[in-house]
Amino acid sequence: MIAYLSGKLLEKEANTVIVDVSGIGYDVMIPLSTFYDLGEIGEEVSLRIFTYVREDTLQLFGFKTIRERELFLLLISVSGIGPKSAITALSGMSADEIIGAIRQNNLARLNSIPGVGKKTAERLVIELRDKIAKLSAVASAEMKAEGIPQMSGDDVYDDALSALNNLGYHYNAAEKALKQAVQEGTEMSVQKLLRRSLQLLAKG
């Protein structure tokens, strides 16, 4: 089982990266929180990995910090939450926000995650409330990568829209949120637009 990858960043999108490890490219699905911390293409990158194996599936999920990986493992231990739903949760909210929502029994906040219904939100609180307390002791020594590659305004908008669609948001809702974020004067970077759009989508 692959638990850690370290190599050169060959390709990156908001939801996936390809890491070149000694000439072998590993396709890894990531949450937006990890995407925000990645360096530029060609730079060295290190990711904590969860290897998801089923009869017809072998998928790698990567995280910049141990804490995120541990939270991901807790999320997928809950019935109704699969790996992609857990990645979506970590993309829509920070680890601290998810932990806070579970601790505070904030079902409405958890229910705002695409694919998480009322019953699943209730299960998250019931099953993880005690377990997440241990996460506060999980520390990571990973260095924060610096910088996000600069792209044209159209490329940034298209990448942000694609990321929102991949996270489960309907095209029209995602586009509406993005347009509002742009009209508000949000900086034209994938990182800034996604953060603001996700905030708007969470408000409904």
Residue where a domain stops, chosen among 42, 63, 84: 63
Q: Is 157 domain-assigned? A: yes
Residue 193 pLDDT more than 90?
Answer: no
Amino acid type, 51 = T
Domain count, the chain: 3
Supply the pLDDT for residue 68.
85
Domain CATH for 99: 1.10.150.20
- Provide, rounded to the nearest whole percent, the portion of the chain with pLDDT above 90: 24
Give the dihedral of Cα atoms 133, 137, 142, 145; nearest 10 deg.
40
What pTM was computed for the model? Answer: 0.62
Q: Is 143 domain-assigned? A: no
The full length of the chain comes to 204
Domain that holds residue 165: 153-203
Q: Is 101 domain-assigned? A: yes
Mean pLDDT of 23-37: 91
Amino acid type, 144 = K
Same domain, yes or no: 58 and 73: no
Residue where a domain stops, chosen among 137, 161, 177: 137
Residue where a domain stops, chosen among 85, 104, 137: 137
Same domain, yes or no: 58 and 11: yes
Supply the pLDDT for residue 172.
78
Give the separation between CA 13 and CA 167, rounded to whole angstroms.
Answer: 13
Q: Is 58 domain-assigned? A: yes
Amino acid type, 180 = Q
Supply the pLDDT for residue 155.
65
Same domain, yes or no: 70 and 133: yes
N-terminal to C-terminal alpha carbon distance within the chain? 40
Same domain, yes or no: 52 and 71: no
DSSP 95: H
| Best CA proximity match to 1, nearest among 44, 61, 45, 77 | 61
Same domain, yes or no: 79 and 130: yes
**What distances in angstroms separate CA 84 from CA 2, 80, 156, 202, one per listed residue?**
18, 11, 23, 18
DSSP 15: S
- Contact in structure between 62 and 48 (CB atoms under 8 Å): yes
pLDDT band, very low/low/confident/very high, at 27 (cuts 50, 70, 90): very high
